[in-house]
Chain A
Amino acid sequence: MPALVRIGRTLRRTLLQAVPTILGIVILNFFLLQLAPGDAADVLAGEAGSATEESVAALRARFGLNSPVLEQLATYLGNLAQFSLGFSPRYGMPVADLIAQRLPGTLTLMAVALLIAILLGVVLGSLMATFAGRIPDRLLSVFSLLFYSIPSFWIGLMLIVLFSVKLGWLPSGGAATIGSQLKGLPALLDKARYMVLPATSLALFYVAIYARLTRAAMLEVKNQDFVRTAYAKGLTPFGVTARHILRNALIPITTMAGMHIGGMLGGAVVVETVYSWPGLGRLAFEAVMGRDFTVLLGILLLSSLLVIIANATVDLVHAWLDPRIGAR
C-alpha cells in the first residue's frame, strides 16, 4: 500500500475521534472549574477594595456570572459553536486574542525544548547502548538519573545563577531585548539567546527519559536477527546502527514523545514563571489566580487540541516509521 494512502487513513481516523474528545473535555473542565470557590467578580472587587454588594452584583450580571450553571454552559458551548472563546472579564478583551498573543511564545518554547530533548536524548542513548555496561554508559546513567530527579524549577534557578548571575552569558528572563529595533537575522539571534535557558530547563528532564528509553530500545533491537543479516551484508557498525537499529528503536521513543507534549505544557507553567516568559503557561497561572474561568477554559481547550494534534502527528510518524502500523 502506498505511503500516502496509509497516512490518509490514519489521519481520518484521528480526526473523527477528536470531535467527541474535545466536547467531553470542555464540559468536564467547565464543571470542575465551577467547583472552585470564588469567581472573577470576587477577585476584581477584592482588588478594587471599595466594592459594594451592588457593584459586585452588577459585575456578575455584566459577565453573565449570575445565571444558572447550565445556562452558562449552554452560552459557552453556543459561543464555541461560532468559533468564539468568549470574553475575559479581567483583561477586558476576547479570550481568543489573549491566547493568540501568548500561544506563539509557548509553542516555540515547547518545540525547541522537545527538539533538544529528542536530539540529545537519542544521541546520548545511542552512546549508552553502544558502550552498554562500560564507563561511558555508567557515567551517562548517573547524569540521566540526576536530570530525571531534579525538579525543573530548581534547574531553572541554578541555570540562572550560573549563566546569568555568575557568568553573565545569557539573559535571566523575558523573550527578547526590550525596546530593541533589531530586524531579520539579528532579531532571531537575540530571541534565541533568551530561549536557551528556559528551553534547556524544560528539556533536561525529558533528555533523561529519552536517553534511557533509547538505550533500552536499541539494546533490544540489537539482538534481533535482522541486525545479524545487516552485518552479514558487510555494513559498517555505524551503518547498521543508523539504518537498521535506530529506526526500529525510534518507534517507542516517538510514542513517549507524543505523550509528553501534554506534560510539557504543564511543565511550561513552571518554567515560564521562573523565566518570566510571556507564554500560555503564565497566562493560565494568572487566570487561576484571578478566577478568570473563560480564559482558563479557553487555554484548556487549546491544550487539549494541542495534545490531540500531537497524538495525530505521532500516529503519522508511526505510520511512516513502521509500515506494519498503517496496514491494520
Chain B
Amino acid sequence: MAPLLQVENLTIGFPRAEPVRDLSFEMGAGETLAIVGESGSGKSLTALALMQLLPRAAQVTSGRIAFNGRDLLTLDAREMRQLRGRDIAMIFQEPMTSLNPVMSIGRQIGEVLKVHEKLSGRAARERAIELLRLVRIPAAEKRVDDYPHQLSGGMRQRVMIAMAVACRPKLLIADEPTTALDVTIQAQVLDLLDTLRRELQMAVVLITHDLGVVAQWADRVVVMYAGRKVEQALPGDLFNDPLHPYTRGLLSASPRLKNDFHYLSGRLTEIPGSIVSAAGETGCPFRPRCRQARASCSHQVPPLIVQTPDRLVACPFTSPLKAVPDAAHLSL
C-alpha cells in the first residue's frame, strides 16, 4: 500500500536563506510521526508547507509532497482549499490567539463544516456540539455559544482540535500543540489527540521539541537540525541508542527520571553554541557545535546512512559510544 504522505527532497527557500533543505520522510495511514528539533530547525515551516500555507516570502524551491498519491505542489489554489480542513487539518501552537476573538466557538467549528460539507447553519451547530463532546468539553450545548476569551488555554486547544477533526481528516498536523499549555493539561490534550487518532484513523504529524512527548506518543521520530533530517528512528531505539551527536546532546540535555521517580541530581549537559552557527556552514550543519567533529566534517554535508529501513542517521561516526547511561524513562 502506498504511504499516505510522502515528502521527497523538500527544500523551502526564503530570498536569503534555506530554512528546510532536502527533507524526505513518509508516513502511513493512522501513524504518528514526531518531528523533533529546536527552534529554527525548520519543523514549523515543514508543517506549513504541507498545508501550502507558507508565509509569502517563503516558497518550496524543490521537492515533492505527495498526499494520497497527489502532488500538493502541483494543485491549484482551489484544489488545495478543498483539501485544507477536510483531508489535511492543522492545529497550532498558540490556542490563545489562534481562535477568532469575535466569533463564538460553535460558529468557528461550524464554519469548516459549512465550507466542506455544505451543512446548513442549524446542522453545523448540532455537529459543533457533538464535536465539543468528542473533545470532552463539559456542557457542550452551553459552551457552543461561548467566545474564546471565556475559555481556558486547554479548552481552547480542545476547540482547535474539534475544528481540525470536524471533517475526519486523513492527516492531522499538530504544530507544538501543547507548548503553550500547563504541564497538567499537556498530557490530557495529547491523550485526547491519540484517542481521536485511533477513533478517526488519522495520521498525525506531531511537531514538538519535547522529547517526553515523543517517547510517549510517537510511532516514529524524525530529528531535524538546521533544516535537515539528521536522524530517524523508532522512539525506543532513539532513546536507548541515539546515533547522531545532536540527538545525543538533546537527550543528555533533557531531565529524566532515575528509578522512575527521582530526578537525577546531576547537572544537565548543554549543547554548546547555537543553531545560528549552521548558517553558511558548507559541511555538516552541526559541525560547529559537535564534540566529535573531525576535519572531514567540513568538506561536505554528510549523507543519510540507512542502517535499517527504520533507522537513518546523517553522521558517519556513530560507533556505539554510549553517552547516555540510563534507559529512556523521560519525565513529562
Contact = CB atoms under 8 A, between A and B. Distances in A.
Interface string A215-239: 0000000001110111111111001
Interface string B107-125: 0000110011000000000
Contacts of A307: none
B61 interface: no
B81 A248 contact: no
A233 B128 CA distance: 14
A286 interface: no
A166 interface: no
A247 B101 CA distance: 10
A226 B105 CA distance: 12
A234 B86 contact: yes
Contacts of B84: 231-234
Contacts, number: 75
B81 A323 contact: no
Contacts of B102: 247-248, 251, 321-324
A322 B98 CA distance: 16
B92 interface: yes
A244 interface: yes
Contacts of A321: 102
Contacts of B74: none
Most-contacted residue by chain A among B81, B82, B149, B150 (CB, 10 A): B81
Nearest to B95: A225
B98 A234 contact: no
A234 B150 CA distance: 26
Task: Report the interface size class on chain B.
Answer: 20 to 34
B24 to A, nearest CB: 24
Interface of B: 51, 53, 81-86, 89-90, 92, 94, 97-104, 111-112, 115-116, 147, 149-150, 160, 163
Instruction: Give the secondary structure class of A's interface.
Output: helix
Contact of B89 (A226, A232, A244, A251): A232
Interface residues of A, number: 23
A95 to B, nearest CB: 44
A327 interface: yes
Interface of A: 224-226, 228-236, 239, 243-244, 247-248, 251, 321-324, 327
B103 A228 contact: no
A229 B98 contact: yes
Contacts of A230: 100, 111
B147 A323 contact: yes
Contacts of A248: 100-102
Contact of A243 (B85, B89, B111, B160): B111
A248 B99 CA distance: 12
Nearest to A248: B102
A102 B72 CA distance: 65
Contact of A229 (B92, B104, B116, B149): B92
Given A225-B92, A228-B92, A247-B102, A233 B163 contact: yes
A115 B115 CA distance: 32
Nearest to A320: B102
B101 A234 contact: no
Contacts of B116: 234
A156 B98 CA distance: 47
A226 B112 contact: no
24 contacts: A225-B94, A226-B97, A226-B98, A226-B99, A226-B100, A228-B98, A229-B99, A229-B160, A229-B163, A231-B53, A232-B51, A232-B89, A233-B84, A234-B83, A234-B85, A234-B116, A235-B81, A239-B115, A244-B100, A322-B102, A323-B101, A323-B102, A323-B147, A324-B149
